[in-house]
Amino acid sequence: MDGLKQTMELYPSLETWDEIRPGLFRELLERGMPTDRVTAFLTAAEEIFVNIVAYAFPGGFGDTDTLTLQIKEQDLPPQAISLIFTDSGIPFDPAAVPPRPPVSSFRGLAPGGWGIHMAKEKSDRMVYTRCEGRNILELTKYLESKR
């Protein structure tokens, strides 16, 4: 995979995302995802990563806490790539966040939830599970548009 592991152990900081994003971008391109889809997919992934950094570890990231990112390919039609975030933070299911209603103006709207809404829009699939004290969130993007 040319310098990028299938599964990466990560430290939850914004600097970490800045460090891994260029490699993820190259990796997704090399796996056949068009540039516009890579950009949209990484925007969704960044929002999820930022939420993990900001909210998953309210007491701080401890020695026993974990955060990993895995890349998985789906070769059967439709071809897709998934980014799987696994963390030992507090339980939170972004896939269960209800969609925001369409708005004609942002004036007077309550803050919060917009990033998750955008991550859902820019991914083709978002699936959450909680297993053995870990959040597992799989974001999937098809190599070709299905919409």
Q: Calculate the dihedral angle through the C-alpha atoms of 72, 9, 136, 21, rounding to the nearest 10 degrees.
A: -60
For 11-66, the pLDDT digits (tens) are: 999 999 999 999 999 999 998 999 999 999 999 999 999 999 999 999 999 988 99
Best CA proximity match to 52, nearest among 101, 109, 119, 7: 119
Could you tell me if 94 and 127 are in contact, meaning their C-beta atoms sit under 8 angstroms apart?
A: no
For 127-147, the pLDDT digits (tens) are: 999 999 999 999 999 998 765
Domains in the chain with CATH codes: 12-100+112-142 (3.30.565.10)
User: What is the spatial distance between Cα 49 and Cα 105, in angstroms, rounded to a whole number?
Assistant: 28
Best CA proximity match to 79, nearest among 128, 31, 24: 31
